[in-house]
Structures are given as structure tokens and as C-alpha cells.
Amino acid sequence: MPTISVVICAYNEEDWITRGLESLSQQERLPDEVIVVDNASTDTTAQIVKNCAAKYPQLNIRLVHEAKKGLHHAREAGWRAATGEIVANTDADITFPADWLAIIDKTFQNPAIDAITGIVRYDDAPAFINWVTWACDQLFQPEGIGKLITQEYVLNGGNSAYRRSVLEAVNGYLDKPANVLEDRHMSHQIHSNGYHIAFIRNLKVWHTFRRFNKDGWRGYMNYIFFYSAENVYPDHLSES
């Protein structure tokens, strides 16, 4: 079986990161290590991670500090620090069903698969929001009706995994342009270099809807259909 490193990126996540780490401790297939990247947090995120490391020694948690803000900087620091053959990317405000890592493990036993992505659902949003995310899965991945719209798989950064060799081959996130989300950039890099992404429909995580609370469902629709990433994920974009 391949070794798996879970990389969690965190910027001021003191209210959320404990529940994510707790759900990782309940996995059917435990990670070989968990790398938490503290991306210039100004709250107690780092101390909470240290507390969780003592509480869940089976997770082999390591804390990495990345002073340069921006999610791609954190992703870059995380995978470089990881030692696993498979790097599973996620975020600090996500929780995981008990079979999440078992599915990743089984999927990568197929040598033809270089990277995978799954679905994201919100555990604190109105029900119709998850209907919209289901529709987006059908439309924006090149399977079924989605083949009429796109030929390129789109990775979801919070629920994706990669062979380390692929990340090395595409030079990680170092060449990401400003104002492009890191998962969109990585999707293009992997495709353009001839690697294979698989969309795994039963690979599921639960996200918080907190980033859209200010503008509600209208803000979410604007993000999905008009790609207003800078309004929702400013900390995910480039910062020099």
C-alpha cells in the first residue's frame, strides 16, 4: 500500500481545525502523517494543532509554518514537507467520512491514475445549495453530460490527492499566476503534462458554508457561475 500524507492548510482556523483532525483520527485507514501548514495565522491555530498532536498521536501530526500568505504558498510548503507517496490535500474547515482515506488508498492502487478529486458538500448550508453542488458535479466534470461542456477535469483543492511524483513533475504550485485559484492551476498543469485525473464520486468531504454567509445563496451562485474567487477566497490567491 502507498504511504499517504494528509496536508491541511490553515489560516486563523482556531474555531474549525479541531473537528477536522478529530474526524481524521476516526478513519478506517489512518494517514501515515498529517502535515498542518500554519499560513501566517494570528490566532491560536498553532497551539490547537499542538494540543491535537498530543491527543491523537496515531495521526503523526507535524506543524509547518509558512509566513507568506496565500493558499498556494501553504499547499507548496505542505507537500514539500510531506514524506508520503500520495499527498492528500484538504483544508482546516473540512471534516471527513470514515472511509475517506480508505477510498484514496484503494484508488491509487491503479497505476494509471495520477491524481484524483471528489465531491464537496456543505454541512451547514440550506439543502438546495447541495443540490447546486450536485448539478455542478454533473456539468463541470467531463463525464456524462459534462463531456459537452469540458474535456478537462477540475480538481477541488479541499478534496484532492496526488502522486508525489506528479507534483514533482509539474513543479508544484510555484508557477501559479496571480488571481487564479490553486486547484484550477493544478488541474491545468496536470492535464497539460499528460497526466490522468480521475473524478471519484464516492470520495466525499463536508465543508463549512462560512465563507458565503455574508452574501448567502446569491454570493454562492455568483461564485459558481461567474467565478468571483477574489471576493470569496482572497486569502487563497497570490500575495507577495
Angstrom CA distances, 164 to 57, 114, 231, stand at 24, 9, 31
Residues 6+ apart with CB under 8 A from 82: 5, 7, 33, 35, 164
Q: What is the spatial distance between Cα 207 and Cα 147, in angstroms, rounded to a whole number? A: 27
Question: How much is the pLDDT for 54?
Answer: 98
pLDDT tens for residues 149-164?
A: 888 898 998 999 999 9
Q: What is the spatial distance between Cα 224 and Cα 143, in angstroms, rounded to a whole number? A: 19
- 95 bridge partner residues: 206
Asked whether residue 240 is assigned to any structural domain, the reply reads no
The angle that helices 71-81 and 182-192 make with each other, rounded to 10 degrees, is: 60
pLDDT tens for residues 104-116?
A: 999 999 999 999 9
Cell of 134: 450536485
pLDDT tens for residues 182-202?
A: 898 999 999 999 999 999 999
Residue 23's domain spans which residues?
4-235
Q: Mean pLDDT over all residues of the chain?
A: 89
At residue 75, what is the residue type? R
Half-sphere exposure of 121 (CA within 13 A, CB side): 15
Provide the number of structural domains found in the chain: 1
Question: How much is the pLDDT for 128?
Answer: 82
Checking if the pLDDT of 240 tops 50, the result is no
* CATH code for the domain of 121: 3.90.550.10
Checking if the pLDDT of 226 tops 60, the result is no
Q: Are the C-beta atoms of residues 218 and 228 closer than 8 Å to each other?
A: no
Q: Are the C-beta atoms of residues 153 and 199 closer than 8 Å to each other?
A: yes
